[in-house]
Structure 1
Amino acid sequence: MWVFSAGPSESTSEFKWLTSLEEAVEEASAQGKLVLIDFYAEWCGPCKLMDDEVYTDPDVRTFLSEKFVCVKVNVDENPGLAREYNVAFIPTVVVLTPSGVELGRIVGYLPPDNFISELSGIISQS
């Protein structure tokens, strides 16, 4: 018996990272979504774990694509933005409304299920 898979779901394939916070805010406003900022650095071990284990997880990708417009901010390349959002440790994920109001943040590595749970909690409190 042969089983064929159509590949990733449409919402998973739609997941993308932006590199401009301004663009993310515009898209979030137009789409009625929240903004998720992932503050990271190339040398950061836990940041790499987030990239390798969390952001590649199909459930996480689907959840993010449905609820957020996501932007990655390298703290070494954008120290002013990191200061503006009081990022003291990385990885730090900040959730904003399209108008720029911070709803919550996650500091440090979380496995996929915990990451979705924490983000869901932030959304439900907004």
Structure 2
Amino acid sequence: MLVGCALIFGGQSMYRRTFLQAFLSTCAAQPLLSQLLMASETSKVNWFTALKPAHQQALSRQKPLLIIFGASWCGFCHKLEKETLGDKRLAQFVMREFVPVKLDFDKDDKAAKILDVEALPATVVINTEAELLARSTGFHEPDKYAEILQSAIRRQSEILQARHTQTRPS
């Protein structure tokens, strides 16, 4: 089953999806995290700070966009960045599986509104076609955050599998 933008954006799904696409083109957690994270050259997240170049990278790498909204005045945003996204294993996982984007809630208010961000810190994971893969608000420990991101990867696989099934000749 595909998650359409109606679920992301409520009643104005076609308008917002079209706008976003135009905007883009212009406890058992420890074993899970250990399984997800393999050795990588980087131990920190290299963030995009604008959606357009991030979307282009996501298209070329065929990876979902991991969009984090924060603000300078948000204490839990700093905590998420330092304690969770600063975790070496999680940073490696993020860099391997996503195109990471960090946006300022106050400066990138247009994107925040389109993606229905109302509380911080906010994590929104979308695929290159602006379909919602995961959403989370607030601070999470690295293992819990890895679970959220893994669910986004599973959702992406489900969408791709559904598309493949729909396009396969009968």
Q: TM tier, shorter chain?
A: 0.7 to 0.9
Taking the aligned partners of 1:68 and 1:121, their CA distance within structure 2 comes to 13
TM-score by length of 2: 0.66
Aligned to 2:20: none
Deviations 1:19-60 (A, max 9, x none): 011111110110111100001111001100011101110111
Structure 2 residue corresponding to 1:74, chosen from 94, 104, 111: 104
Name the structure 2 match of 1:93.
123
Deviation at 1:86, TM superposition (A): 0.5
Structure 2: distance between partners of 1:103 and 1:125: 6
1:12 corresponds in structure 2 to 43
Unaligned runs of 5+ in 2: 1-38, 157-170
RMSD of aligned C-alpha atoms?
A: 1.4
How many residue pairs match? The answer is 118
Q: Which has the higher strand share?
A: 1
Contact 1:11 1:66 in 2 (8 A): no
CA distance in 2, matches of 1:88, 1:71: 18
Q: What's the TM-score once normalised by structure 1's chain length?
A: 0.88
Separation of aligned partners in 2, 1:64 and 1:9: 11
Gaps in structure 1 of 5+ consecutive residues: 1-7
Runs in 1 of length 4+ with deviation above 3 angstroms? none
Aligned residue type for 2:53: E
Counterpart in 2 of 1:105?
Answer: 135
Query: What displacement does 1:11 show?
Result: 3.9
Higher helix share goes to which structure? Answer: 2
* CA gap 1:9/1:109 in 2 versus in 1, 3 angstroms: same
Give the aligned partner of residue 5 of structure 1. none
Identity %: 31
Name which one, 1 or 2, has greater alpha-carbon Rg: 2
Structure 1 residue aligned with 2:83: 53
- Equivalent residue of 1:104, what SS? strand
